[in-house]
Structure 1
Amino acid sequence: MAKTSGVAPRLAKALAIVLGTEEIPIRLRAWDGSEAGPADAPVIEFRSRRALRRMLWSPGQLGLSRAYVAGEIEAHGDIFAAFAALSSAGKFAEPGPFRKPTARELGTLLTTAVGLGAVGPNPAPPPEEAKVEKHGRRHSKNRDAAAISHHYDVGNDFYRLVLGPTMVYSCAVYDSEDSSLEAAQEAKLDLVCLKLGLQPGMRVLDVGCGWGSFALHAAERYGVSVVGVTISTEQAELVRKRVADAGLTERVDIRIQDYRDIDDGPFDAISSIGMSEHVGREQLPRYVSQLHSLLRPGGRLLNHAISWNAGPADDDPDSFIPRYVFPDGEMLSLSEVVVELEAGGFEVLDVEALRRHYALTLRAWVRNIEEHWDEAVRLTSAGRARVWRLYMASSALGFENGLTGVNQVLLQKPGGAEPPLRLRQWTAG
């Protein structure tokens, strides 16, 4: 039987201060084996005093995230239940930037840390934390390249383990909740091709081509020529191999190139799948203008992007996602993106919301990580595997509770043939 006296009750009070709650929403297990909190709640273990020290120096999401990535905190059992309990409590449930503890609360936190022997220098962040600021101003080409490398250049074999054989790193489209991840990703690739109206002989630009799954699918199944661009060297290396293995080198050209440097339009269609989140609010007009200039009159653009649905954007650079996952990434609202696209000269043909589909996709990716945990750690590091587990599980919860969405916006550049009259005609096979 777990001890109910000892470290845990005092540690629970410290955690309650950080969360901004009267009572903690989890069962807390301390490093001495004692426990506190609701008996039937998800179990989170604080394995060392260093976790409390991180909370003292960074009393919020960042401190807890660093402790989890470093292995000083562990969530036992259902990872989704544990993260849901924490994220729905107190300050973590409030939209906008995280509200820091008051001076009085910090004093109580310090007193608790002193009593538990946790006071000391600020522990160094885990090595998986991003350090892109040394590469210049935000959304400069050099800094964007560093941000992309941080996220994507962590091993193609690791991503294959997480994403599965399709190697598609964006929201799948499920016919039913029982569909396999692979079938749902194939369905998404087909849907994009159909919305773009791809026909044999067309020239297509894939902006942010990832590991090349859309480029390969479009070239092989629809007979088009594709230029795919990425600024991830590891992605480009694997895509080129996949293209060669498929015998498609004459129809698929993969480049390491910033989208701002593409100058060989026009293209008949452009896909941007999960890329515009990296562009940034200030660069969005330039992004729209560039794609508009590269598209022939009457050509279609499909912009597939995550949206922020929870009111004013939370751009806190000291939260988990920008520090560990997507440095300099910015989630914009759907309305912001559509306004900019229309202001840039595009006509909106259709908007399709896929929020529930992304939750299913992310849960499938988390299953892949957990079922192959030892291999994931071997391919990267324990910290990196923990980052991806935390990020994907918490993101799934964000889509399930509506904080975030994902939308396919289909657009057309004026000047060509009129689009079909009805949506079902655009996606007819």
Structure 2
Amino acid sequence: MSEVAAVLARGAAYALGEPLPLRVRAWDGSEAGPQDGPALVLHNQRALRHLLWQPDELGLVRAWVTGDLEISGDLYEALDRIAGLLWERDEDPSRFSALTRAATLLRTPGAVSTLGRTLALAGRLRPPPRPAEEVVRRRGRAHTRGRDRAAISHHYDVGNDFYALVLGPSMVYSCAYWDSAEPSPDASLEKAQSDKLDLICRKLAIEPGQRLLDVGCGWGSMALHAAMDYGAEVVGVTISEEQAALARERVSNWGMSKQVEIRVQDYRDVTDGPYDAISSIGMAEHVGADQYRAYAAHLHTLLRPGGRLLNHQIARRPLRDEESYRINAFIDRYVFPDGELAPVGSTVSLLEAAGFEVRDVEALREHYAVTLRAWVANLEANWSQAVRLVGEGRARVWRLYMAASALGFQRNTMGVNQILAVRTATDGTSGMPLVRTFGERAFSMAT
């Protein structure tokens, strides 16, 4: 009688010092673990090899991307139950060490007598091939122009049609701004994204004729919003060829070519300041810790005195030992190569060190959890088409990363913040109102 699932459950309990929080269902039909909730389904022995040779989120992801491993039941609940074992292990490194020791044990011939022949056999086999969707380890210094272009291309140049399925008509790939943490059935993602763009324009106090630089402009949604609803003259820069192509098409279709220019250009190469305002929405995560002060200083030089910067950026929670910080292997290998997150306090300090005066910080953590769930729902509703566009492996990567990220924001392991900063004049004049208020817009070309 086969008992692969029981052996797996016992091995996990041995490593963790407590029962596995998910039910295990193995390829031989055996099951073990909690009766309630979702189950971890291993379709074949290759799934086990992935987990034994890489006993962390990377092994889990490799098995998931190849389709060797599935979640039966609610994906969010399953990820929530294992968050402490994988996604949040930096807060308790001893648990990860236990998993590593157990996996090492299971890969030795002596494991036969203690945890079963199946585990020992899988462990003695060579590591399985890595999925094609995984980025190979990069050489050389991170965040050079060339390496950044390659990283951005990996994430964004997967096809505009795919992003349209996930993001919806707004084509905005950053946290939306919702009226409620539990939106009503008639609340739309498109309205929430429009409200976010409007909030940014109001924080920047954009007026007709002012120059706005949108750093990391994506598919042009912020540029179009600022031009059409606020009368701004906008330059949007991106290093994604596919994003720029669609952004230019949208600008042309809306008849805004005289007001909006979309460039394929690295932010470091923008030299045609001064600008009245700069928006950087979901872009600074790609800059990197070593380059961040230079990034902030360059944006500072591009603003006129009294000009404002709105930096909308994902943050991570500070660690007890910041020296132990490491980039999440799943995100680095499959989603955002070379992407780095920093605590919001570090970001504020670097902006100030570059000469900015930080005037407002607004946390939107819960908003991103809602946004990501909406994107996952869009992907799931259009799954067959998404697979046709980018392949099943890439679609599975996006579903897992967005669902896990939604839980990260929900559980407060990640946050997202809008930091409003100003380049004050030499006499200290900021141009900011005495009262913290971002009023309704006073101008709209659309009405």
- Scaled by the length of structure 2, the TM-score of the pair is 0.90
Cα distance in 2 for residues equivalent to 1:90 and 1:299: 43
> 1:86 maps to what in 2?
82
Cα shift at 1:115 = 2.9
**Amino acid paired to 1:152:** Y
Report the number of matched residues.
424
1:102/1:299 CA distance change after superposition, 3 Å: closer
Cα distance in 2 for residues equivalent to 1:377 and 1:220: 35
> 2:435 maps to what in 1?
422
**Amino acid paired to 1:88:** G
**Residue from 116, 132, 145 that aligns with 1:127:** 132
Name the SS for the 1:66 alignment partner. helix
Q: Is the 8 A contact 1:211 1:238 kept in 2?
A: yes
Cα distance in 2 for residues equivalent to 1:132 and 1:149: 16
**Residue from 100, 103, 106 that aligns with 2:104:** 106
**Amino acid paired to 1:67:** A
Q: Could you report, residue by residue, the CA deviation over 1:306-351 in whole angstroms, capped at 9, with x for unpaired residues?
A: 0111425574356211111111111100000000111111111111
**Residue from 160, 164, 168 that aligns with 1:164:** 168
**Amino acid paired to 1:286:** A
- Stretches of structure 1 that go unaligned for 5 or more consecutive residues are none
Q: Is the 8 A contact 1:25 1:89 kept in 2?
A: no
1:283/1:337 CA distance change after superposition, 3 Å: same
> 2:236 maps to what in 1?
228
Q: Is the 8 A contact 1:195 1:427 kept in 2?
A: no
Q: Is the 8 A contact 2:7 2:116 kept in 1?
A: no
> 1:11 maps to what in 2?
8
1:280/1:114 CA distance change after superposition, 3 Å: farther
Name the SS for the 2:91 alignment partner. coil
> 1:301 maps to what in 2?
309
1:113/1:300 CA distance change after superposition, 3 Å: farther
Within 5 Å, give how 1:382-393 maps onto structure 2.
Answer: 382-393=392-403
Q: Is the 8 A contact 2:363 2:415 kept in 1?
A: yes
> 2:410 maps to what in 1?
400
> 2:49 maps to what in 1?
53
* Percentage of identical aligned residues: 54
1:245/1:345 CA distance change after superposition, 3 Å: same
Q: Is the 8 A contact 1:43 1:77 kept in 2?
A: yes
**Amino acid paired to 2:223:** A
Q: Could you report, residue by residue, the CA deviation over 1:261-299 in whole angstroms, capped at 9, with x for unpaired residues?
A: 111111110000000000011101100110000001100
**Amino acid paired to 1:120:** L
1:349/1:318 CA distance change after superposition, 3 Å: closer
1:230/1:16 CA distance change after superposition, 3 Å: farther
1:209/1:90 CA distance change after superposition, 3 Å: closer
Structure 1 residue 73 corresponds to structure 2 residue 86: no
Cα shift at 1:218 = 0.6
1:223/1:91 CA distance change after superposition, 3 Å: closer
Q: Is the 8 A contact 1:17 1:109 kept in 2?
A: no
Structure 1 residue 370 corresponds to structure 2 residue 380: yes
**Amino acid paired to 1:421:** L
> 1:150 maps to what in 2?
154
Cα shift at 1:41 = 2.7
Name the SS for the 2:308 alignment partner. strand
Q: Could you report, residue by residue, the CA deviation over 1:166-220 in whole angstroms, capped at 9, with x for unpaired residues?
A: 0000000001222321111010010000100011101110000011100011111
1:317/1:337 CA distance change after superposition, 3 Å: closer
Cα shift at 1:109 = 5.0
Cα distance in 1 for residues equivalent to 2:195 and 2:258: 25
Cα distance in 2 for residues equivalent to 1:422 and 1:251: 32
Q: Is the 8 A contact 2:197 2:225 kept in 1?
A: yes
Cα shift at 1:427 = 5.5
Cα distance in 2 for residues equivalent to 1:133 and 1:105: 27
**Amino acid paired to 2:138:** E
Name the SS for the 1:198 alignment partner. coil
Q: Could you report, residue by residue, the CA deviation over 1:99-146 in whole angstroms, capped at 9, with x for unpaired residues?
A: 334546521354358534423221121111113614x31111111111
Cα distance in 2 for residues equivalent to 1:387 and 1:291: 33
Q: Could you report, residue by residue, the CA deviation over 1:357-396 in whole angstroms, capped at 9, with x for unpaired residues?
A: 0000001011111111111111101111111111000101
Cα distance in 2 for residues equivalent to 1:74 and 1:283: 39
Q: Is the 8 A contact 1:209 1:229 kept in 2?
A: yes
1:15/1:25 CA distance change after superposition, 3 Å: same
1:85/1:310 CA distance change after superposition, 3 Å: farther
1:129/1:17 CA distance change after superposition, 3 Å: farther
1:277/1:368 CA distance change after superposition, 3 Å: same
Name the SS for the 2:131 alignment partner. coil
Cα distance in 1 for residues equivalent to 2:103 and 2:168: 46
Aligned Cα root-mean-square deviation (Å) = 2.0
Cα distance in 1 for residues equivalent to 2:92 and 2:214: 33
**Residue from 29, 32, 54 that aligns with 2:28:** 32
> 1:319 maps to what in 2?
329
- Scaled by the length of structure 1, the TM-score of the pair is 0.94
Name the SS for the 1:424 alignment partner. coil
> 1:284 maps to what in 2?
292
